[in-house]
Amino acid sequence: MSGTTLLINLAGAIALLLWGSHMISTALQRGFGTPLRNWMGRHLTNRWTALLSGVGITGILQSSTAVSMMATSFTAAGTLSLAPALAVMLGANIGSTLVVQLMSFNTEIAIPLLILAGFVVFKLRDHSNFESVGCALIGLGLMLLALHMLGSTLGEIETTPVFHAVMQGLEGDVLIALLVALMLTLICHSSVAIILLIASLAGTGAISPATAMVLVLGANIGGALPPVLNAGSAVARRLPIGNLMVRLSGCALALLLLPLLTNMAAKTALSTPQLVVWFHTAFSAALALLFIGLTAPMARMLERVFPEEERVGDPGMPMYLDDAGLEVAYIGLSNSVRESLRAADMLTIMLDRLLVLFVTQEKQAADEIRHLDQSVDLLSAAVRAYLADIGQDGLNDADADRSQEILMFIINFEHAGDILSSNLTQLATRRARRGELFNDFELNNIRLLHAEILTSLRLGIAAFMGEDLSAAHQLVQRKETIRQLEASASREHFKNLRDDKNTWAESGDIFQRVLRDYRRVHHHIAAVAYPVIDRLGDKEPLFIDPPAEV
């Protein structure tokens, strides 16, 4: 076979190995990433639990990079402390070695069985979880097939002079071997694939045990680099840089002890390919034991070195919509939720400033409301565009439903903000231009409606954020309370107009329109409950009326 043909076969085998790894990772993330992420967010109570969680979730997802992105999203949001997140990464490094261990037991009969089983499961039922498991099984079969192809191709390549020249260039040059493995891992974004490639090379007998271990160290460093390069903020850099520091420290120590490690390896009965696999596992396990007690001081140091950035400028500019979430659906949805909650915070401030405007007629309050409304509109447009781009590999059913919930939440809050800015603010300032104030009766009813709407706003956020079915039902039921408050205030106001002939008709019309627009604001807030009720299930069907037009 010609050298060109061998290189094409080698490149194809490596590409198939990477594609199989990609299929497994993306399929399992799409099917089970969200529940795993939610579980991880609720159960990381201490460093040992975090360590075991990292091992287990990485073993399932077969991607320490995916776990790193999960943990980084938690730490950036402030829902997970940096110390347990560092412990998660120590466990994730161990978990990725389990994948290598599994791949090392390569049997030819497993290849067709896995691909056949994956196809059957994929077609068994039209459900995203079945499809994800089927794709993962096919990906595993493709990885085993790629390893079989690699072994055959490398067996023929090892007799060529060029191959021996390249391998001799790596022998004895620690820095070159380290950089080669680092760059290959960085380019391929898969330390698992590169470790398996190193094991295949070791099987040809072309590299010594010492060089094989150096290549493994380089792959470990390269595997920690992509999350660092993809981090978008100082807070997001803390965890991946902490993980990189751990691996660099371990590699430096291992290189110092390389002669001793080589002597120890010579005394074992392991072949060089087995040595690659077990050294990779031992390296990650040793790092976990060495650094598990240092996660707290490391976290404090990283927080000092990478302080949270002060954000200035328009609050409507998105803060969390990074590119990493476009590739991994559950991270993108989490980012969108965080931005949507920022819009809810701005709506709360608008409501508070509106009440001040009704009471004091301050022009500054009206300007603040209009500026915040523009920010909500800007943020809403960014979230909608981001949601449209999430899930380049597709969304499972649950993630697609959650995406619609987020979309409905941000759209309804945008409409509520428009009513506050364009309608209620104008009604309040119209009285001020005429030199009139709202009387005590009007202000008391406005305050009452205002308090009820704030309560509904909190219920809406709880239903949306916690996917709380009880809060969603309460929110829908409160629509009748708001209707009764509006009707009662309107009747009493008309009675006062009949009794007080000096009251201007236009003044009475302004108050009636204020009552109506407050109810419209509440209508949009209550609308966020319906997607939650539809998705989580409702035994007794509710009458769902459409949101009011703006």
pLDDT in tens, 312-324: 556 778 887 877 6
Residues 242/193, Cβ–Cβ less than 8 Å = no
Query: Tokens 């691996």 correspond to what residue?
Result: 247
The secondary structure of 210-273 as a DSSP string is HHHHHHHHHHHHHHHHHHHHH--SHHHHHHHHHHHHHHHHHHHHHHHTHHHHHHHHHTS---HH
Report the interhelical angle of 329-360 vs 397-419 (nearest 10°). 20
pLDDT value of position 546: 42
pLDDT tens, residue by residue, 489-524: 888 877 776 666 555 444 557 888 888 988 999 999
pLDDT value of position 550: 37
Collapsed DSSP state (helix, strand, coil) of residue 366: helix
Q: Please indicate whether residue 403 or residue 30 has the higher confidence score (pLDDT).
A: 403
Q: Residue range 153-175: average pLDDT?
A: 70
CA-closest candidate to residue 262, choices 219, 223, 217: 217
In this predicted structure, the answer to whether residue 208 has a pLDDT above a threshold of 80 is: yes
pLDDT tens, residue by residue, 426-437: 888 887 676 677
Tell me which of 115-129, 241-255, 301-315, 355-369 is least confident.
301-315
Q: Residue range 78-83: average pLDDT?
A: 73
Residues 248/258, Cβ–Cβ less than 8 Å = no
* Percent of the chain whose pLDDT exceeds 90: 10
CA-closest candidate to residue 213, choices 153, 169, 151, 257: 257
DSSP letter at 393?
A: T
pLDDT value of position 68: 75
Residues 261/107, Cβ–Cβ less than 8 Å = no
Number of neighbours of residue 448 by Cβ within 10 angstroms: 14
pLDDT value of position 61: 66
Residues 167/207, Cβ–Cβ less than 8 Å = yes
At 253, the pLDDT band (50, 70, 90 cuts) reads: very high
201/184 Cα distance (integer angstroms): 14
Size of the chain, expressed as the number of residues it contains: 550
The secondary structure of 471-532 as a DSSP string is HHHHHHHHHHHHHHHHHHHHHHHHHHHHH-TTS-HHHHHHHHHHHHHHHHHHHHHHHTHHHH
> Is this model's pTM higher than 0.75 or not?
no
